[in-house]
Amino acid sequence: MHSLHQTKCPLSVMPDRPLIKEAHWLKPQLVAEVEFTEWTEQGYLRHPSFQGLREDKSVKEVIREQAEEDKVSQIDTTQGLLNKLTHPNKILFAEAGVTKLDLAKYYESVAERLLPHLKGRLVTLVRCPQDKQAQCFYQKHWVKGLTKSIGSIAIDKEKGKENYITIANSESLIVAAQLSILEFHPWASRYDNILYPDRLIFDLDPGPKEKWTNIVKSACIVREALHAIGLKSYPKLTGGKGIHVMAPIEPEYEFHTVKDFVRTFSTALAEFAPQLLTANLRKNQRNNKILIDYFRNDSEATAVAPFSPRANGQATLALPVSWEQLEKSKKRYTYTIKSFSTYCRDYPHDPWHDFFSISQSLKLNKFL
């Protein structure tokens, strides 16, 4: 690339990005293959990942592919997989009566919403091959039994390379249903920048008898505190008793630094609202308060993905919601695989529409 270097931007419109000052411009003579989630409204690639140079293609051959063609081929592929499910009537969620086929069809219906939260990340799976949820287990390493339809990527560890699981497309989701995979937990960093998280996660974990209104009030306290330091946040129903408050950030700091910040931040919130919150992880010392679990921000820690089911008999879902709707709610509410159409009516527009496009810096130099 050195011989192609130039000082002038070759693009007709200068990209609006915070790292633009550090860009090195090249004469547009090379063709690269890039994997990405989608085109943004501004014409940028969302979650681009460099796959290599294409010496077999000339610059003149490169055109923008049409999304509709991709959708048609994807539908044909997933429909074929649905028809090939073994034991499609096997019950995976006992109380709800949700079968393997029901789960596969749900994954197919939410693929466009779920996949952006999984693509480009390592994913820990919750597998329930037996009939009882009590026999479920977490799996983060790829093994042969997962088949090639479930992706993998080798990550350097102290003892050598280890193969971790990735989920890239609708086919992977349908195969996940075939393998009785009931939950998806993406990592807080992308695998091409594995040491640097790009989100803060506040897991509000209430006691068994905590009032829903107090949980919502606690989430709003987290929201306002984040807003005070310039961060927009997004609430998610976990499909269980609690709420996750998430804030996208630029991947500027390593996990240990981000975790230290979130721990300090959570402790300060607990001191601000001691009647509601605690940052003490010991159950016997929580005094029936709502725990702010900051360990979701640790390296290799995960949080359940939006639109993922939960491995319980009711087939509840973890779903993105709006602050407006959350604050209006007076009692705990959940959506399930069978009532997902109700969620779609409640949220005809994506409540997290700018989650992946917003650019926010943690700017820890202000606190250090």
pLDDT tens per residue across span 57-69: 777 667 655 433 3
pLDDT tens, position by position, 71-114: 333 434 567 788 889 999 999 999 999 999 999 999 999 999 99
Element (H, E) at 100: helix 100-114
CATH number, domain of 50, equals 2.40.50.140
207 and 175, same structural domain? Answer: no
Domain boundary among 124, 158, 186: 186
pLDDT at residue 348 in the model = 94
pLDDT tens, position by position, 192-247: 999 999 999 999 999 888 999 999 999 999 999 999 999 999 999 999 999 999 99
86 and 48, same structural domain? Answer: no
pLDDT at residue 71 in the model = 37
71 and 35, same structural domain? Answer: no
pLDDT at residue 191 in the model = 94
217 and 156, same structural domain? Answer: no
**Measured over all CA atoms, what is the biggest interatomic distance in the chain, rounded to whole angstroms?**
67
Answer yes or no: is 123 within a domain: yes
Q: How far apart are CA 72 and CA 343, in angstroms?
A: 26
User: Which of these ranges, 43-57, 131-145, 296-310, has the smallest mean pLDDT?
Assistant: 43-57
130 and 231, same structural domain? Answer: no
Q: Is the pTM of this model over 0.75?
A: yes
Q: How far apart are CA 120 and CA 138, in angstroms?
A: 20
**Contact status, residue 262 vs residue 202, Cβ threshold 8 Å:** yes
293 and 159, same structural domain? Answer: no
Q: How far apart are CA 125 and CA 51, in angstroms?
A: 25
For 237, other C-beta atoms within 10 Å of its C-beta total: 22
Answer yes or no: is 114 within a domain: yes
Answer yes or no: is 191 within a domain: no
Q: Is the pLDDT of residue 178 over 60?
A: yes
User: Which of these ranges, 6-15, 229-238, 243-252, has the smallest mean pLDDT?
Assistant: 6-15
356 and 226, same structural domain? Answer: yes
Tokens 């949220």 sit at which residue? 347
CATH number, domain of 332, equals 3.90.920.10
Domain boundary among 186, 211, 242: 186
261 and 117, same structural domain? Answer: no
Q: How many domains does the chain have?
A: 3
**Contact status, residue 86 vs residue 179, Cβ threshold 8 Å:** no
pLDDT at residue 65 in the model = 55
The type of residue at 337 is I
What average pLDDT score do residues 306-321 get?
Answer: 96
360 and 292, same structural domain? Answer: yes
If phi > 0 it is left, if psi is from -120 to 50 it is alpha, else beta; for residue 304 that is beta
pLDDT tens, position by position, 257-283: 999 999 999 999 999 999 999 998 877
158 and 227, same structural domain? Answer: no
Q: What domain range is 54 assigned to? A: 2-61
Answer yes or no: is 9 within a domain: yes
pLDDT at residue 9 in the model = 83
Domain boundary among 61, 91, 106: 61
pLDDT at residue 367 in the model = 57
pLDDT at residue 76 in the model = 47
Q: Measured between alpha carbons, how far is residue 213 from residues 66, 88, 239 in Å?
A: 46, 40, 17
86 and 16, same structural domain? Answer: no
